[in-house]
A and B are shown apart, each in its own frame.
Chain A
Amino acid sequence: DVQLVESGGGLFQPGGSLRLSCAPSGFTFRDCWMHWVRQAPGMGLVWVARINPEGSTTDYADSVRGRFTISRDNAKNMLYLQMHSLTVEDTAVYYCATAGNYRFDQWGQGTLVTVSS
């Protein structure tokens, strides 16, 4: 079975940094586009970033471009989201998701990031 396990969330101060991780299993990770999607408490889903299978192409939502970096290590079977210059608006559950052809096939359980002083 496909599994995606996110980690790295917690309580962080405004202006701070953190790195989220996503550990995939049950599928050939190195062949898949991967995404991060976030959901603020009580709010809707928002696409954050994507990365191609080789790790050579990335795209970002306007709200995080220049502050967040998506990356992957296919040798270690890991997906990452490096987050800098955190603001309270970055408070959300962050999901990693596998990408089929223009859809989000499988989702992790999410990891909560809270930005507060």
Chain B
Amino acid sequence: QSALTQPASVSGSPGQSITISCSGTSSDIGGYEYVSWYQQHPDKAPKLIIFDVSNRPSGVSNRFSGSKSGNTASLTISGLQTEDEADYYCTSYTSSVAYVFGTGTRVAVL
């Protein structure tokens, strides 16, 4: 099972919106509504920010939103803030190996 494909890096200015894509197949993203997203700051554990494609856990800013179309999921961060600088990973349930993560995207706030 190959990792889901994400852009290596995305950048934006404070206040802007950015979108991170996560590309998979019909065996993972396209086949299930079980895409989740994680934020990881340097040397910290990942943190769940989106689950079931577009739902936010309690306490997560509404500046984070998720969506899915076909075999591609997306995470949008609106009103970009300096504390949003981190690595972001998507993951999906799959029909084969249970779970697969994305390759990860580093977000830079310029």
- Chain A residues within CB distance 8 Å of chain B: 35, 37, 44-47, 50, 59, 61-62, 95, 100-110
Q: Beyond A102-B34, A103-B51, is A95–B45 a contact (Cβ under 8 Å)? A: yes
A37: chain B residues at CB < 8 Å are: 46, 101
Assess the A45–B104 pair: CB atoms within 8 A. Answer: yes
Assess the B36–A103 pair: CB atoms within 8 A. Answer: yes
A103: chain B residues at CB < 8 Å are: 34, 36, 48, 51-52, 91
In the A-B complex, the 5 residue pairs with the smallest Cβ-Cβ separation, listed nearest first, are: A102-B34, A107-B45, A103-B51, A44-B104, A47-B99
Assess the B98–A45 pair: CB atoms within 8 A. Answer: no
The bracket for how many chain B residues form the interface is: 20 to 34
Q: How far is the CB of A4 from chain B (nearest CB, A)?
A: 9
Measured between alpha carbons, how far is A47 from B32 in the docked complex, in Å? 18
Q: What are 23 pairs between A and B in contact, CB < 8 Å?
A: A35-B99, A37-B46, A44-B3, A44-B101, A44-B102, A44-B103, A44-B104, A45-B40, A45-B46, A45-B89, A45-B91, A47-B98, A47-B99, A47-B100, A61-B1, A95-B46, A101-B51, A101-B52, A102-B32, A103-B34, A103-B51, A104-B38, A105-B57
Per DSSP, chain A at the interface is strand
Assess the A59–B48 pair: CB atoms within 8 A. Answer: no
Assess the A110–B45 pair: CB atoms within 8 A. Answer: yes
Q: Beyond A45-B38, A45-B104, is A107–B89 a contact (Cβ under 8 Å)? A: no
A59: chain B residues at CB < 8 Å are: 97-98
Q: How far is the CB of B57 from chain A (nearest CB, A)?
A: 8
Assess the B45–A109 pair: CB atoms within 8 A. Answer: yes
Assess the B89–A44 pair: CB atoms within 8 A. Answer: yes
Q: Beyond A47-B97, A47-B99, A62-B1, is A104–B104 a contact (Cβ under 8 Å)? A: no
Measured between alpha carbons, how far is A84 from B31 in the docked complex, in Å? 34
A105: chain B residues at CB < 8 Å are: 48, 57
- Interface residue B41 (Cβ < 8 Å from any Cβ of A): no
- Interface residue B63 (Cβ < 8 Å from any Cβ of A): no
Q: How far is the CB of A62 from chain B (nearest CB, A)?
A: 7
Q: How far is the CB of B103 from chain A (nearest CB, A)?
A: 6
Q: Beyond A45-B89, A47-B98, is A102–B36 a contact (Cβ under 8 Å)? A: yes
